[in-house]
Amino acid sequence: MPMKIGTGEFKERVDKGIHNSFMRGAVAGAQERLRTRRLEAAEELGNWEEWRALGEEIRKHTLENLDYYLWQLSENVAKRGGHVFFAQTAEEANEYIRDVVVKKNAKKIVKSKSMVTEEINLNPVLEAAGCEVIETDLGEYILQIDDHDPPSHIVAPALHKNKEQIRDVFKAKLNYKKTENPEELALHARHTLRQAYLTADVGITGCNFAIAESGSITLVTNEGNADLVTALPKTQITVMGMERIVPTFEEMEVLVSLLTRSAVGQKLTSYITVLTGPRDQGDVDGPEEFHLVIVDNGRSNILGTEFQSVLQCIRCAACVNVCPVYRHIGGHSYGSIYSGPIGAVLSPLLGGYDDYKELPYASTLCAACTEACPVKIPLHELLHKHRQVIVEREGKAPISEKLAMKAFGLGAASSALYKLGSKLAPSAMNPFTVNNRISNGPGPLKAWTEIREFPAPGKERFRDWFHNRQKGDHQS
């Protein structure tokens, strides 16, 4: 699976994450900042809940009519002289893009940020075809020069690194001599990247929203790099997940407002670029040739299922920025380029349960994600649905758990059994009880007591107390 990152079992990756104090410091700091800024931006807008409801409605409507809007989009792109390719799989998408690049005899490719090209793992394919591929988003650039360190956050891919670590990467790889001051670092990167834009043959971009009515694509950035990637090279290839589409400019505006506020707490980002097809007569810049690659890669299998709402996602990472689990384990622990709550829902759907079966359980179902999501995806409910599918359809739950839950079902549905079981509990726990505490419990209690004390079941249950009290009342 191309979207897979890292090696080792989930447990080992988590262990590594938990012990990476640099990463945890960086993530906790970023979460505080981004959360506060998002709340302030929402507050400033005023009627945030109405905006969310509108965002949800737009995304739902678009998904219900996805085939129509995709058709409209491709017609309009073609009308403007662009080429559209529907790729069912990652391989098909990669092959198409490689063919375009080879036909153009391209040697140098500049890219702006795109999660879907990470998902299909495009870069190695282009490099194998003899191209130099340069990421121009600063975060992506840092990761690329650091021996292709994978992204750990869907909006800020290098979030797991602090500025000292970035300085060290620059020193080792770019012969950088200055300090860890972010401005100096950015300036250095900009110098290197400027050259790349001017000499690149092909520019590749992602797509925040495609607009069906006009065949345009919208790119939202803070660095302006997408403008250069699309303005300078002769050929432009835009890669989009098939659900990243809106009917008209009007809906695009609503979603961009939700996106920039939710992602970084800004009213608007520094650059919002709308591009329509190749350079027209009279245009001063823009590519001579434009290709739009629409990637399915498992998305149409999600349509029409109980998981459809996950396709409403606009990749703002608000859910990631409030997730208390992500906070402690970091993005790489998820083993997927999609991390955090959205990653825990999406990765098993796109990549299968074999690789991602732990992710739906790596959540307390605290619903912080659901509360933050600007398009009202019920993320914690979808995580719960995954658990249900794993138990009922996939049959992947451990036998011991199945038996325990069967017993639970029987016990909790019968007051007689419950009463008997709860009456026997204190004596069953007797051997493990010291001072009304269990410090080293048996069975499932073991994992609990490795970390915390467990209260021993009382000799008198609440129901016994209540019963005796009522009796006493009656006697008196």
Stretch that binds ligand SF4, among 167-175, 184-192, 222-230, 317-325 (CB under 6 A): 317-325
Q: CB of residue 365 vs other proteins: minimum separation in angstroms?
A: 6
Instruction: Report d(CA 118, CA 4) in Å as an integer.
Output: 10
> Is 405 among the residues that bind other proteins (CB under 8 A)?
yes
Tokens coding 140: 């992506």
316 is an interface residue for ligand SF4 by CB under 6 A: yes
Q: How far apart are CA 234 and CA 109, in angstroms?
A: 11
Contacts 24+ apart (CB under 8 A), 412-417: none
The tokens describing 392, both together, are 């009922």
Question: Six-digit token pair at 270?
Answer: 């520094």
Taking each helix axis as running N to C, give the angle between helix 21-45 and helix 10-18, from 0 to 180 degrees, rounded to the nearest 10.
Answer: 90
Q: Annotated binding site for [4Fe-4S] cluster, which residues?
A: 313, 316, 319, 323, 366, 369, 373
Integer Cα distance of 358 and 94 in angstroms: 29
Using DSSP bridges, classify how beta strands 454-455 and 235-241 pair: parallel, antiparallel or unpaired: unpaired
Q: Is 372 in the site for ligand SF4 (CB under 6 A)?
A: yes
Backbone angles phi and psi of 361, in degrees to 5: -95, -10
Q: Which of 50, 52, 31 is nearest to 341 (CA)?
A: 31
Q: Is 16 in the site for other proteins (CB under 8 A)?
A: no
**Which of ligand SF4, other proteins, none does residue 437 bind to, with CB < 5 to 8 Å depending on kind?**
other proteins
> CB of 320: closest distance to other proteins in angstroms?
14
Residues 238-277 that bind ligand SF4 (CB under 6 A): 262
**Among positions 371, 430, 434, 471, the unique one binding other proteins when judged by CB under 8 A:** 371
Binding of residue 415 to other proteins (CB under 8 A): yes
CA-to-CA distance for 289 and 101, rounded, in angstroms? 12
- In the bound state with other proteins, the residue whose beta carbon lies nearer, of 107 and 463, is 463
Judged by CB under 8 A, the chain residues 440 through 459 that form the site for other proteins are 444-445, 447-448, 450-458
Q: Is 22 in the site for other proteins (CB under 8 A)?
A: no
Residues 28-57 that bind ligand SF4 (CB under 6 A): none
Q: Which entry of ligand SF4, other proteins, none binds 392, CB below 5 to 8 A by partner kind? A: other proteins
Task: Choose the contact partner of 400 out of ligand SF4, other proteins, none; CB within 5 to 8 A by kind.
Answer: none
Q: How far is CA 330 from CA 292, 354, 429, in A?
A: 33, 21, 38
**Cβ contact 24:330 at 8 Å:** yes
> What residues are paired with 133 via a beta bridge?
109
User: Binding residue for other proteins (CB under 8 A) from 270, 301, 414, 430?
Assistant: 414
CA dist 17 and 46 (Å) reads: 38
58 near ligand SF4 (CB under 6 A): no
Among other proteins, ligand SF4, none, partner that 466 touches (CB below 5 to 8 angstroms by kind): other proteins
**Interface with other proteins includes 399 (CB under 8 A)?**
no
Q: How far is the CB of 317 from ligand SF4 (least distance, A)?
A: 5
Task: Please say which residue, 60 or 327, places its beta carbon nearer to other proteins.
Answer: 327
471 part of the interface to other proteins, by CB under 8 A: no
Q: Which C-beta is closer to other proteins: that of 228 or that of 359? A: 359
What the block records as the tokens of 358 is: 């732990």
Residue 314 in the binding site for ligand SF4 (CB under 6 A): yes
Length of the chain: 476
> Which residue in 15, 168, 180, 201 binds other proteins (CB under 8 A)?
15
Distances (CA, A) of 7 to 13, 154, 197, 410: 8, 20, 34, 41
Number of residues that bind ligand SF4 (CB under 6 A): 15
The C-alpha atoms of residue 329 and residue 11 are separated, in whole angstroms, by: 10
| Mask for 304-343, x = binds other proteins (CB under 8 A) | ------------------x-xx-xxx--------------
Binder of ligand SF4 out of 14, 228, 318, 362 (CB under 6 A): 318
Are the beta carbons of 149 and 371 closer than 8 angstroms? Answer: no
Q: Which does 432 bind (CB under 5 to 8 A by kind): other proteins, ligand SF4, none?
A: none
CA distance 276 to 128: 30
Taking CB under 6 A as the criterion, which residues in 373-412 touch ligand SF4?
373-375, 377, 379
Local structure of 132: helix, strand or coil: strand
Among 184, 397, 432, 433, binds other proteins (CB under 8 A): 397
Q: Which two tokens stand for residue 439?
A: 């410090």
Place of tokens 């302006």: 224
* Residues 6 or more apart whose Cβ sits within 8 Å of residue 100: 202, 235, 237, 291
In the block, residue with structure tokens 């810049």: 285
Question: Which partner in other proteins, ligand SF4, none is near 316 (CB below 5 to 8 A by kind)?
Answer: ligand SF4
* Site residues for ligand SF4 per CB under 6 A: 262, 313-319, 342, 372-375, 377, 379
* Site residues for other proteins per CB under 8 A: 11, 14-15, 18, 322, 324-325, 327-329, 361-368, 370-371, 384, 386-392, 397, 401-402, 405-406, 408-415, 418-419, 422, 425, 437, 439, 444-445, 447-448, 450-458, 460-463, 465-467
